[in-house]
Structures are given as structure tokens and as C-alpha cells.
Amino acid sequence: MKQIQLQTTQSGLQRIISNMSYMRKEKNRLAVRQVVIRRALKKVEDQLNQCEDIDEILSLQDTADNLCSISSDLESFRDHLEIELDKIRRGVEALSSLPNEAGFVSFQAYIIEDTELAIKNLLNVRSYYDQVVESIKAMKDESVG
């Protein structure tokens, strides 16, 4: 029984580490989306500074405001993700100080569930920002065409 328990906890820790690694990769992927959004915002601001048509100015200002808001939301989410990763690291450290195996296994299961829920959320968030990036590309294509 002791050997089976040890294998379970080792595979559980490996799963947590794998989940954390995936979360870091997703954070990096979101950083790429952040760069695309900021570049688009800069281009819109440049166009705004050169524009003289009031209707186009209003349209560009709306676009700039939306991009600024989206960029700010993404930055906040990425900051929250770093806090989440720190929380998980502390949780893994706390695992080693638990006095009994039952507590260890229960807390480990909680951390695994928490990281897997976070990953599902990350996938939804990235999907949303992928759509934003596609919209930016479509805007770029419209302005070229």
C-alpha cells in the first residue's frame, strides 16, 4: 500500500509540474497576443494623428479606445496568472510539510484540480484573444485592400 501511495503522489506531482509548465507556455502565448494588440494600437494612434476627416477620426478613436481596453484587460489577466502560478508554487511547497499521507493526497488532488481548471480558463481566454488578433488582421487587410 505504501508503494502504491508513493507512486500516486509522484505521478500527482508530475501532473502539477506539467500543468504549471503548460500555464507558463500559455502566459507566453498571451504575451504574443499582447504585442500584436499594442502594435495595432500604435498604428491606429499614428493614423489618428494624421487624419483630418471627422468621421474617420471618430471611428479611429473608437478603435483605439477598444484596443486600449483589450490590452489593459489582457495585461491584468497575465498579471493574475503570475499570481496564480506563485500560489501553486507555494501549495506544492506546503505539500512537503503535511504530517500525514491522507492530507498530502487530498491537498495534491486539490492543486491538480485547481491547475486543470485554470488551464481550461486559459484556453478560453486565449481563444478570445486569438479572435481579437484575427479581427486586427482583418482590419489591416481592409485598410490595404
Residue 29 belongs to a domain: yes
Q: What is the reported pLDDT for 81?
A: 96
Q: Quote the domain boundaries for residue 101.
A: 20-144
Q: Could you give the number of structural domains in the chain?
A: 1
Residue 11 belongs to a domain: no
Cα–Cα separations (whole angstroms), residue 45 to 49, 118, 129: 6, 34, 20
CA 23 distance to own-chain centroid = 8
Residue 45 belongs to a domain: yes
Look-up of cell digits 474617420 = 56
Q: What is the reported pLDDT for 3?
A: 42
CA–CA dist 136, 39 (Å, integer): 10
Residue 104 belongs to a domain: yes
Which among 125, 129, 122 is positioned nearest to 40, based on CA atoms?
129
Beta-carbon-side half-sphere exposure of residue 136 (alpha carbons within 13 Å): 24
Residue 43 belongs to a domain: yes
Residue 14 belongs to a domain: no
Residue 133 belongs to a domain: yes
Alpha-helix runs per DSSP H in 51-100: 54-95
User: What is the block-wise mean pLDDT of the chain (145 residues), using blocks of 10 residues?
Assistant: 47 92 96 97 95 94 97 96 95 84 87 95 96 91 67
CA–CA dist 130, 122 (Å, integer): 12
Q: What is the reported pLDDT for 140?
A: 78
Q: What is the reported pLDDT for 10?
A: 66
